[in-house]
Amino acid sequence: MPISPDIIESLRLELRRGTLILAVLAALRTEKYGYTLRSDLAEQGVEIDEGALYPMLRRLETQGLLTSEWREDAKRQKRFYRLSDDGAAALSQLTEEWRAMNRALEAILKEGMQ
C-alpha cells in the first residue's frame, strides 16, 4: 500500500520543527528584520512560513535569546533582530547537539544503505 502524502507531510513537518529554531538563531548572528531573515533562509534552502516566523521571533526574544529594536530603513519602520549573548550561548550548545545527532544519524543511515 503506498504511503499517504499526508503522512509524509506530517513526518516532514515534525522533522523540520526543531531545526528551524537553530536556523533562525544562526541566521541572526548578523542583524536582520523579518522579511530579509526569511528571504535569506529561503535562499539557503530553509523555507519558513511568515505566520510561524514572527511569533517564533517574539517567543525567542521573550526567552532572552534575541534582542530587537525598531529602526527606520528605506523610509519604513522595521524591527531588527539579532542574537543576544544568551542566544549565542544557546546557539553554541544547540549546534553541538545538532552535529552529534547528525553524525549519529548519518552513521545509522549509511548502515541501512549497506
Partner 1 sequence: MTDLMERYLAAVKRRLPEEQAKDIIAELREAIGSKIEAKEKALGRAANAGEVAAILKEFGHPVVVASRYSGQDYLIGPNLYPWFWDAQRTGVGLVFAIVVAIAAVRAFASERPIQAVLQGIAGAIEAAIWMFGVITVIFIVLERTKTDVRIAQGWNPKTLPHGNIRAPKPLFDSVFALAFDAILILWWTKVVRLPNEFPWQGNRGLELHLSDAWAPFHTPILVLALVVAAVHVADIVYPAWSRLRSLVSIVGHFWGIAVAGMLYRARPLVDVIVSPGAEDRTRELNAIFEIGLGLAALGWAIGLGVEVWRLLRSLQVGVPGPQAAPKG
Applying CB under 8 A, which residues contact partner 1? Answer: 33-35, 49-52, 54-55, 58-59, 70, 76-79
Nearest distance from C-beta of residue 87 to partner 1, angstroms? 19
Smaller CB distance to partner 1: residue 37 or 91? 37
- The strands making up 76-83's β-sheet, listed across from edge to edge, are 32-33, 76-83, 66-73
Smaller CB distance to partner 1: residue 53 or 88? 53
Smaller CB distance to partner 1: residue 80 or 98? 80
Nearest distance from C-beta of residue 108 to partner 1, angstroms? 26
DSSP H helix total and E strand total for the chain: 4, 3
The C-alpha cell that represents 17 in the structure block: 520543527
Nearest distance from C-beta of residue 35 to partner 1, angstroms? 4
Nearest distance from C-beta of residue 34 to partner 1, angstroms? 5
Question: Where does 28-84 have alpha helices with state H?
Answer: 34-43, 50-62
